[in-house]
Amino acid sequence: MFREIEPLGGTAGASAVATAPLRHSDGTINFDAYRERARRARTEAIRSSVTEAFLLIGKVFSAGQ
């Protein structure tokens, strides 16, 4: 009835740990682990975009000198 969804691009190159379903010992889905994974990914995405924005701003102001 249910199937596991593979990440975009299939599992080629991905580690088995990252693609394995996160479950509790009784077999139920561990939603807290998925929330934590999403929180870390969201934080890293924000950090990356802010870093890129500051680098771009720095290049704009340093090009005028």
More confident position, 64 or 52 = 52
Which pLDDT score, from 0 to 100, does residue 63 have?
75
The pLDDT of residue 1 is above 60: no
Q: Give the pLDDT mean for 42-56.
A: 96
Confidence at residue 19, expressed as pLDDT on a 0 to 100 scale? 63
DSSP class per residue in 7-53: PTTTTTT--HHHHSPPB-TTS-B-HHHHHHHHHHHHHHHHHHHHHHH
Domain ranges of the chain: 16-63
Please give the model's pTM, rounded to 2 decimal places.
0.57
